[in-house]
Structures are given as C-alpha cells and as structure tokens.
Structure 1
C-alpha cells in the first residue's frame, strides 16, 4: 500500500483545520488518509498524537476561534470542582458577540463579551483568566463550592489572585448575571488556605453556629518558638484543628503529625484531629462529628455558646491591651 506523503512541518504534532491543510497544499484526499484522525469536525491531527483534554480543546479552538471557559477553564487552572461539574468529556467554549455559540457534540457553547484582561493566551489555547473563570463558575456551583473555589483562588502558596484584585474585579461586574451569588461567596471567602477541605470544614462549623476559626495562623510557645500552622484555630480558647487527609496515613507523615500535635499540647493547646469521616453525618438529621468534637473542645476551654461572640470580643480587647 502506498504510504501517505509527509505532512508539511507547520502541521506536525498539532491539530490543524481543513483550511490550514489547503493553505499548506494538502489535497482533500490527503486529509482523509488513515495516518490522520479527526478529533472534531473540520480538524485533523496525526493518529500517533496522544489524545488528551488539552488536545481536544486545541482542536476545538482551532476550528471555532472560541475561548475555553467555565468548568473547562477551571480544570486548566486547577480549581477544585465537585465531581458533577468536573467532566473532562465535555468542553465549555465561549464565543464573543457576533459569533454564534458553538454547537458540537460534547461541547457546551456560551456567548459572552470579554475585557482584554479576562482572556489568557496560552501556547495552545486561549482561556478565561482565573478571576473571570471563578466568576463564571457562579452559574454552575453551589454557594459552598463557589467559596471553596474562591479560597483556592486566594490560596496561601502560589495564589491565582489577591483579595484586592478580586474586590476590584467584582466591583466591575455589578449587575452581571452571577454577581449576586459571587458577592455572597466573597463574604465567606478567606485567603491563605492550603486545601479545599480547610474551607469545607470552616463552612461546616459556621453553619452549625460555632464561631469562625482562623486559617493557618502560626502557633508559638512561650519562648516565641514556632510550633506549627494549624489548619484552623481559636486563639482565645487555644484550640487547634487539624484536618488529616489521605496522605497523613503514611508512617512517616504519622510520626511527623504526632510530634506536631504533642508540641502543641505541651504549649497548652487543645488539638482536635479530624478526617473525612468527621465531616459526613452518620445518618439523616445527625450532626457531623466534626461539629460535635470542636464544640466540645471549645466548651472545655471556657467558650459559652450563648455568650460566645461577646466573650471573644472582650478577650480580644484584653489581649490587645497587654
């Protein structure tokens, strides 16, 4: 069987449109050869090229000139998303006004306008900026999931934005669809988190009437020596909360965690260690054990539910005056 002719260099190792193929001198027959596959209508790529989500996006953007957005852009940026939304088989594309929303298999098409700073040009695709991506998620996520995504935006290490940038951006989005939910989420968002579970736990405690804990505030002993940055903490009551995910199960990490928590207890802190089991109620209408255990630790340290906020304000003023 006759081997297909070599592809021109500009078409190697990337998706190309049929218009690109014609411009490069390829015949219609050549674009139908078995060494090429069609990741989407109107696009070809080498059959040996690995197929990934980014490859599919590249192919779709090449033929539609749309911008990767919503949940698909969130996946590119690494936002934590619920399983119901994080579907890699579906690509969200947004067309600018004047272009019809994309209508293709396994594509959700949108049509919206963009400011120049809301689009980030990558080497293979254009996608919405972190701030615009988070704002667009308001139409897809619950309030809690939007707060979790927002805290990721403001995370402690390698944040994608700052509070000032977020507030300025929201100011410019007033009146737009999704603004009301985004504004409610902004009230609940906190910067400096390390994991989505920190946010999930913080929101759970607030929802059950407990005072809001601080996030990753450094803990020191009486000599000023740093001990740890607990995931969440109540400095007045000296209660520290650690959420231990799956990676804490390794022997080395367990030894490190024991040493971490013993140092905190020696410094006079009450340490509450929680896992995913503590966040999920055992049955309908039952209180999550995370709430029960944290409440018990606070009460043990003198917190009174009926007078908690006032007591905490008085303690904060007393501490500030020392």
Structure 2
C-alpha cells in the first residue's frame, strides 16, 4: 500500500474545507483517501474512533452561513446539558435558520426555521449556539416531561447556573403557541433551583409524587454549634431526615468513600437519620419510597398533614 502524503499539521486536529486544502497543496487524490471522513460536501476531517460533538459542529461550521446557529439537541450538548441517550445517539446536527431563510438540505443535518429575533444566540467555544434557556424551550418538542424537568433543573443548578428561575418563567411565557408549550409550562412547575445532578431530580420527583413532603434541595446541615458539617442532597429538616444519592464515584474513589463515612458520621451524631439511595433503588421505585417514608414516619410525619 503506498504511503499517504502527510497533511498540514493543523488539519489533523480540525475539519477543513476542500477549497482550503487545495489552496495549501493537497491533491484531489489525497482528499479521496480512506483516512479522511466526508461529513458534509466539500468538508474533510481525519478519521477518529469517537468523533466529539465539537468535531461534528466544527465540520459543519466549515460551510455554515452566518444566518444559521446550532440549536435543539445539538445546542444542549454544546452547553453540556443532560440529555437522554436516545437523543444524544441520534447522530444528527441540528441548526436553526431565521425566516425567510431556507433550511439546509444536507445529509446529517436537521434544519429548523425560526422567526427572526425569536432565538438568542451565544458563542460556545467559537460556535454560534442558541442560548441555554432558548435551547430548553426548543427541546420541549422532543423530550418527555421528566426529561424537560431534568434539563430545567440543570439550568438553575447549584454551581455556576446558566440561568435563573425568573429567566425560565419569562422564556416559557414567550414560548406560548409553539409546539411543546403546554409540556414546558408543566415542567416549569416542577423545576427547582440548587440541584446538582439528574439523579437528584429523579429522586425528588419520585418522592414528592408518592405523596411525601417537598424536600429542601442541597440544604446546609450544621452541628449544634452552628458549624456547617454537610450539604445534603435531599433534606427534610423538620424531621431531621437526610436522603443521599450514592453515585458510582462514592464506591470507586477511595478518598471520596472515606470522606463520605466521616461526613455521615458527623451528621448522625447530630441526631439525623440518613437514608442512602443508589441506582438499584431507583430501578425498584417502591423500595426507595418505602425507605424514606419509613424514616419520616418514625420521626413523626403523618401522611396528608403537611
């Protein structure tokens, strides 16, 4: 097999147009080589085992006109918002184009036409992308109610939130009349600020929908001297019941494991009951509800009186 002619160094780390390649001395034969992908017409990129969303967007960006921006699920992935696997694995780049522009007719790209000025855009790693709150509204047509709540919680999360609850409310009001608007309004009712992970959202929804009290999310727990000893995932302060979701890192990270043990010992020393929930409990949902309900009842909670 003949040895391939080396490409310019910067072509190995980014997509490039065939026009640029020809201008820099790359032959037509080299552009047809099997080690190069052809994600879009007149665009090439070096074949890699697992192309990232950034790589895919950069490939389309080589031919993307200024009137278009990345939107919907593609925007959500660029913003780092949590999406279900079925949406992430769709393998389609989604873009929006303002009217009267026409949607792109390119394999691997799904276009959406939007009213001029109706979608705000921001720059994310150099890409024109629908703003986080507008992205959430766009997802209302493809996500389930609970999936929308998860994304809404992520927008107003505890650390570095991209949005505020008032911004979500304003966006939902502006979205009236669009596909998914009713579902979006219902999702907003369930969104809570201060959540750290999709699992926390899932657990909170499970407990509240089962008739348990509305918990405090990531509440600060202090000892009798007023010193902070923990931030609890789901806190029932009145009953001194703490519900913690144990993710994989709690088992695989030895330092995290030892820190958790000391932290939970300090909480229990202050008279708190700690309920630990993991993925298996969420698969058998009645089990998770039973564990928490039993702890609350033991602490004096009576169903229907709060």
Give the TM-score range, shorter chain: 0.7 to 0.9
Aligned to 2:258: 255
Aligned to 1:314: none
Aligned to 1:265: 268
3-state SS of the aligned residue for 2:95? strand
Aligned equivalents of 2:146 and 2:276: distance in 1?
22
Aligned residues of 2:235 and 2:243 also touching (Cα < 8 A): yes
Q: Closer, same or farther in 2 for the Cα pair 1:159/1:209, shift >3 Å?
A: same
Instruction: Give matches, 1:30-69, under 5 Å.
Output: 32=31, 34=33, 37=36, 39-45=38-44, 47=46, 51-65=51-65, 66-69=68-71
The structure 2 residue matched to 1:86, chosen from 82, 85, 88, is 88
RMSD (Å) for aligned C-alpha atoms: 3.0
3-state SS of the aligned residue for 1:215? strand
When normalised by structure 2's length, the TM-score is 0.86
Q: Closer, same or farther in 2 for the Cα pair 1:147/1:48, shift >3 Å?
A: closer
Note if 1:178 corresponds to 2:177.
no
Aligned equivalents of 1:114 and 1:208: distance in 2?
44
When normalised by structure 1's length, the TM-score is 0.82
Aligned to 1:302: 300
Query: Which whole-Å deviations, capped at 9, do the CAs of 1:66-118 have from their partners, x for residues lacking one?
Result: 32111111111111111111116222222222232233333332222353761
Aligned equivalents of 1:39 and 1:113: distance in 2?
32
Instruction: Give matches, 1:1-322, under 5 Å.
Output: 14-17=14-17, 29=28, 32=31, 34=33, 37=36, 39-45=38-44, 47=46, 51-65=51-65, 66-87=68-89, 89-113=91-115, 115=117, 118-249=120-251, 250-281=253-284, 287-307=285-305, 309=306
Q: Closer, same or farther in 2 for the Cα pair 1:4/1:98, shift >3 Å?
A: farther
Aligned residues of 1:216 and 1:233 also touching (Cα < 8 A): yes
Aligned equivalents of 2:204 and 2:6: distance in 1?
61
3-state SS of the aligned residue for 1:240? strand
Aligned residues of 1:4 and 1:33 also touching (Cα < 8 A): no
3-state SS of the aligned residue for 1:217? strand
What 5-or-longer segments of structure 1 have no aligned partner?
282-286, 310-322
Aligned equivalents of 2:158 and 2:26: distance in 1?
53
- How many residue pairs match? The answer is 301
Kindly state the Cα deviation for residue 34 of structure 1 after the two structures are TM-superposed: 3.9
Kindly state the Cα deviation for residue 228 of structure 1 after the two structures are TM-superposed: 0.8
Kindly state the Cα deviation for residue 176 of structure 1 after the two structures are TM-superposed: 2.5
Aligned residues of 2:243 and 2:277 also touching (Cα < 8 A): yes
3-state SS of the aligned residue for 1:85? helix
Aligned equivalents of 1:20 and 1:98: distance in 2?
30
Aligned residues of 1:36 and 1:44 also touching (Cα < 8 A): no
Q: Closer, same or farther in 2 for the Cα pair 1:170/1:204, shift >3 Å?
A: same
3-state SS of the aligned residue for 2:239? coil
Aligned equivalents of 1:5 and 1:225: distance in 2?
62
Kindly state the Cα deviation for residue 131 of structure 1 after the two structures are TM-superposed: 0.7
3-state SS of the aligned residue for 1:137? helix
